[in-house]
Amino acid sequence: MSLFGFAFKPRRARTAQTARDRLQLLLAHERLGSSSAPDFLPQLQNDLLEVIRKYVAVDDDGVEIVMQREDAMSSLEINIELPSESAPKGAAG
Amino acid sequence: MTTGLKEEQPLGRIVVITSGKGGVGKTTSAAAISAGLAQLGHKTVVIDFDVGLRNLDMIMGCERRVVFDFINVIQGDARLKQALIKDKRLDTLYILPTSQTRDKDALTKEGVEAVLNELKEEFDYIICDSPAGIERGAQLAMYFADEAVVVTNPEVSSVRDSDRVLGLLASKTKRAESSDEPVRATVLLTRHDQARIDQGEMMNVDDVLEILAVPLLGIIPESTAVLRASNVGTPVTLEEPSNAGRAYHDAVARLTGAEVEMRIGSERRPGLFQRLFGRTA
Ligand SMILES: Nc1ncnc2c1ncn2[C@@H]1O[C@H](COP(=O)(O)OP(=O)(O)OP(=O)(O)O)[C@@H](O)[C@H]1O
Ligand SMILES: [Mg+2]
């Protein structure tokens, strides 16, 4: 190792550090039980649809939920596709 | 956003990555193969069938973006479109993660079939990452397959389990139960270590193929690139070139029907020490 070490010095960034960071982030969420987030998300989605439908007609497929987990906070992005009057149904996307 | 791929009927080919024995490289292979197919322009989705032990999301590097999963879709809690995660690197690649919290009984044959049928309308290749074992989860992962990649290490228990799995593919799949052509099965030999084979410690390719008697899809060398790729969440076929990556690319080409000469890549460059110590053998 030490004899030939110089020849095999990693040119790449140390990936083990990345692995550790990714795991810490993921496991922190999973242990907190926030991995169970998907359990309330379907209900949230249905409730949202119901509320929105009071005002506009939206497709069942018209709601998109995007989650991004980060160290300090996670974000939940909810996109609702409002059908335009003229577009034929199902042509969006 | 739409690529025009929808114009033609997609191929809709279901490929299960299976093995019987655990830890032989199924998930690594499912990730590498699906990314390789997507790179060639085939619209590809990779599904994690390992319910309760979600891992494919980490190997694909999309673990922070999981909202809905395969089970949510099967149980009608989410639309398929909402559960599919679009890969950030390749337009043609999607991931369908599994649930970390449920157990494998949450999968039903009807549910799996409905999801696969929907995916067939959109995708050229549907890659199913099977759980280990030969129980329900593994059987569901293979049931609807058109093609099977049996991941095998050159080691007795792995070869034995592969043989069991080949038996299941020939009897307990939809194709086996109907009069359709049987599932097309190939062996993917992984963690191949030429140095250990040379020392007589490990069975060679011919030994394994003779026993299993199915065609060879590829030979993936034991490689440090695999661990590095998993650390950063990138399929090894999308990482900087490595012997393992190249071997997976060759296997992918064969999967699509191309004829590629079989080569044995070794990460160890066995000539080096021989040269250093002046051996000419
Ligand atoms: N060609 C290879 N070279 C070196 N290590 C490898 C190779 N292929 C797989 N591995 C390592 O082997 C381990 C198991 O791989 P993987 O998770 O892909 O197996 P699996 O068959 O999906 O396991 P399970 O049965 O638990 O689902 C991982 O640590 C992986 O990095
Ligand atoms: Mg696995």
CA distance B106 to chain A (A): 14
| pTM of model > 0.80 | yes
Query: Could you tell me what percent of chain B has a pLDDT over 90?
Result: 76
A1-5, A84-88, B192-196: lowest mean pLDDT where?
A: A1-5
Q: Is the pLDDT of residue B204 over 70?
A: yes
Using CA positions, which residue lies closest to atom 16 of ligand 1? B25
What counts of helices (H) and strands (E) characterise chain B? 13, 8
Give the pLDDT score at B223.
95
A67 vs B58, B67, B240: nearest CB: B67
Please name which of B99, B145, B151 lies closest in space to residue B125, comparing C-alpha atoms.
B145
Please name which of B231, B225, B224 lies closest in space to residue B63, comparing C-alpha atoms.
B231
Give the pLDDT score at B271.
43
Give the pLDDT score at A85.
63
CB contact under 8 Å between B231 and A15, yes or no, is yes
Q: Is the pLDDT of residue B33 over 80?
A: yes
User: Residue A10: what are its φ and ψ, rounded to 5°?
Assistant: -65, 125
Give the pLDDT score at B187.
97
Q: How far is the CA of B13 from the centre of ligand 2 (A)?
A: 21
> In angstroms, what is the C-alpha Rg of chain B?
19
CA distance B261 to chain A (A): 30
Average pLDDT over residues A15-20: 87
Task: Count Cβ atoms within 10 A of the Cβ of residue A72 and give its class: 0-12 exposed, 13-18 middle, 19 or more buried.
Answer: exposed
Average pLDDT over residues B140-162: 96
Give the pLDDT score at A53.
86
Higher pLDDT, A88 or B164: B164
Tokens of A28: 């922190």
Q: Give the three-class secondary structure for A3.
A: coil
Ligand 1: nearest atom to the Cα of B224: 4
Mean pLDDT of chain A: 71
Where does the pLDDT of residue B268 fall: very low under 50, low under 70, confident under 90, or very high at 90 and above? very low
Query: Could you tell me what percent of chain A has a pLDDT over 90?
Result: 0
A6-15, B42-51, B92-101: lowest mean pLDDT where?
A: A6-15
Q: Residues B207-252: pLDDT tens digits? A: 999 999 999 999 999 999 999 999 999 999 999 899 999 999 999 9
Q: Residues B113-129: pLDDT tens digits? A: 999 999 999 999 999 99
What counts of helices (H) and strands (E) characterise chain A? 3, 2
Give the pLDDT score at B281.
37
Higher pLDDT, A46 or B55: B55
Average pLDDT over residues A41-51: 81
Please name which of B75, B68, B55 lies closest in space to residue A66, comparing C-alpha atoms.
B68
CB contact under 8 Å between B78 and A36, yes or no, is no
Average pLDDT over residues B178-186: 94
Domains of chain A: 21-82 (3.30.1070.10)
A36-45, A54-63, B122-131: lowest mean pLDDT where?
A: A36-45
Average pLDDT over residues B261-277: 56
Give the pLDDT score at B265.
67
CB contact under 8 Å between B58 and A35, yes or no, is no
